[in-house]
Structure 1
Amino acid sequence: MSSASRSRPWDVRRLPSAEERNFLVTGGNAGIGYFAAEQLATTGALVVIGSRNPAKADAALASIRSRVPGARVRHLYLDLADLPSLKTAADSLDLGRLDAVVHNAGVALDDPPRRRTKDGHELMFGTNHLGHYALTRWLAPLLSAAPAGRVVTVGSFAARSERLDLDDLQSTRDYRPKRTYGRSKLAQMCFGFELDRRLRAVGSTVLSVVAHPGGALDSLTPPRPPVSTTTPGERLRGLPAALMVQGKDAGAWPVVRAVLDSEVQGGQLWGPRVFGLRGRPRREPVPAHMADPAVAAQLWAAGAELTGTDPQFGFR
Structure 2
Amino acid sequence: MTTICLTGATDGIGLATARVLLGAGHRVLVHARNEERGRPVVDGLAADAAAGAEAVLVSGDLARLEDVRALAEQISALGGVDTLVHNAGVWVREPMPLTTVDGFETTFGVNVLAPHLLTTLLSDQITDRLIWLGSGMAGSGRPDPAHLGEPQESSRAYADSKACDVALAGAWNRRLPDVASAALDPGWVLTKLASSGAPGRVEDSADALSYLCTPVEAGGADLSTAPYWRGRRPIALPGRLRDPQLGDDLAAACDRLLGLA
- Alignment TM-score, normalising by the size of structure 2: 0.87
2:167 counterpart of 1:190 = yes
Aligned to 1:34: 15
Distance in 2 of aligned mates of 1:113 and 1:64: 28
The one-letter code matched in structure 1 to 2:107 is M
Is residue 137–residue 309 contact of structure 1 (8 Å, CA) maintained in 2? no
Distance in structure 2 (CA, Å) of the matches to 1:162 and 1:30? 26
- SS state of the match for residue 208, structure 1? strand
Task: Between 25-34 and 245-254, report the one with greater CA deviation.
Answer: 245-254
Give the structure 1 partner of residue 248 of structure 2: 297
Contact 2:141 2:162 in 1 (8 A): no
Percent of pairs identical after alignment?
27
Deviation, structure 1 residue 260 = 0.9
Aligned match of 1:269 in 211, 220, 228? 228
Change (3 A) 1:113 1:139: closer
Whole-angstrom distance in 2 between the partners of 1:21 and 1:86? 23
Does the C-alpha gap of structure 1 residues 38 and 113 become closer, same or farther in structure 2, counting only changes over 3 Å?
closer
Q: Which letter maps to 1:126?
A: G
State the 1:261 CA deviation: 4.8
After superposition, give the CA deviation of every residue in 1:23-79 in whole Å (9 maximum; x if it has no partner): 100111111111111111112111011111323212321332343344410111122
Residue 157 of structure 1 deviates from its aligned partner by 1.2
Q: Aligned partners of 2:132 and 2:173: how far apart in 1?
A: 11
The separation in 2 between residues aligned to 1:270 and 1:264, in whole angstroms, is 11
Ranges in structure 2 where 5+ consecutive residues have no aligned partner = none
Aligned to 1:59: 40
Work out the CA distance in 2 between the residues paired with 1:309 and 1:30.
Answer: 32
- Contact 1:83/1:131 (8 A) holds in 2: yes
Return the index of the structure with the highest Cα Rg: 1
Indicate the SS of the match to 2:183: strand
- How far apart, CA to CA, are the structure 2 residues paired with 1:185 and 1:65? 31
Deviations 1:233-275 (A, max 9, x none): xxxxx7xx6xx83221211222111111515124521113xxx
Displacement of 1:86: 2.6
Separation in 2 of the partners of 1:21 and 1:208? Answer: 17
For 1:152, which of 119, 127, 131 is the aligned residue? 131
Aligned residue number for residue 157 of structure 2: 180
1:306 to 2:221 alignment: no
Q: Distance in 2 between matches of 1:119 and 1:171?
A: 12
Distance in 2 (CA, whole Å) between partners of 1:100 and 1:113 is 30
d(CA) in 2 for partners of 1:113, 1:245: 26
Q: How does 1:1-316 map to 2 (within 5 A)?
A: 20-70=1-51, 71-93=53-75, 94-110=77-93, 115-143=98-126, 146=127, 149-172=128-151, 175-200=152-177, 205-218=178-191, 245-262=199-216, 263-266=221-224, 268-272=227-231, 281-310=232-261
Is contact 1:218-1:247 (8 Å) kept?
A: no
Structure 1 segments of 4+ aligned residues over 3 angstroms from their partners: 110-114
Q: Secondary structure at the match of 1:48?
A: strand
- What residue identity is the alignment partner of 1:104? N
Secondary structure of 1:92's counterpart equals helix
Question: What's the RMSD between the two structures over aligned residues?
Answer: 2.2
1:294 deviates by: 2.3
- How far does the alpha carbon of each residue in 1:264-312 deviate from its partner, in whole angstroms, 9 at most, with x for none? 124521113xxxxxxxx211122232231222222111100111223xx
TM-score when normalising by structure 1 = 0.73
CA contact (8 A) 2:98 2:106 kept: yes
Matching residue of 1:313: none
Secondary structure of the equivalent of 1:216?
coil
Question: What one-letter code is carried by the residue in structure 2 that aligns with 1:100?
Answer: T
Q: Deviations over 1:88-122 (max 9, x none)?
A: 32222223341101001111124598711121111
Q: 1: distance between equivalents of 2:20 and 2:133?
A: 16
What is the Cα deviation at residue 218 of structure 1?
Answer: 4.3
> Judging changes above 3 Å, is the alpha-carbon distance between structure 1 residues 98 and 218 closer, same or farther for their aligned structure 2 residues?
closer
Q: Give the AA of the match of 2:168.
A: F
Distance 1:21 1:302 in 2: 32
